Amino acid sequence: MARRNTRTGSTATKTRRKAAKDRPSLETLRPRYNARLSSLATGQERPVILVVDDDADARTIYSTYLRAMGCDVFTAEDGRPAIEKATDLLPDIIVMDLAMPRVNGWEAIRRLHDSSWTRLIPIVAVSAVPVSRQTAFEAGCDAYLTKPCEPQVLWSQIRALLRLPDRFAVGQVG
Tell me what pLDDT residue 119 has: 93
Domain annotation covers residue 144: yes
Q: Which of 93, 144, 54 is nearest to 135 (CA)?
A: 144
Residue 7, domain member (yes or no): no
Cis peptide before 47 (omega within 30 of 0): no
Domain span holding position 95: 48-164
Residue 13 included in any domain? no
pLDDT at residue 42, rounded to an integer: 79
Residue 97 lies in a domain: yes
Low-confidence ranges of the chain (pLDDT < 50): 1-21, 173-174
Whether residue 17 lies inside any domain: the answer is: no
> For residue 126, what pLDDT is reported?
97
Domain of 78: which CATH number? 3.40.50.2300
pLDDT of 5: 40
Tell me, yes or no, whether 27 lies in a domain.
no
What pLDDT is recorded for position 8? Answer: 39
Q: What percent of the chain has pLDDT over 90?
A: 64
Q: What pLDDT, on the 0 to 100 scale, is given for residue 158?
A: 97
- Residue 152 domain-assigned? yes
Task: Fill in the amino acid letter for 79.
Answer: G
Domain count, the chain: 1
Number of residues that make up the chain: 174
Q: pLDDT value at position 26?
A: 60
CB of 66 within 8 A of CB of 51?
yes
Q: Judge whether 136 lies within some domain.
A: yes
Nearby residues of 35 by Cβ (< 8 Å), 6 or more positions away: none
pTM > 0.85: yes or no: no
So what's the pLDDT on residue 24?
A: 60
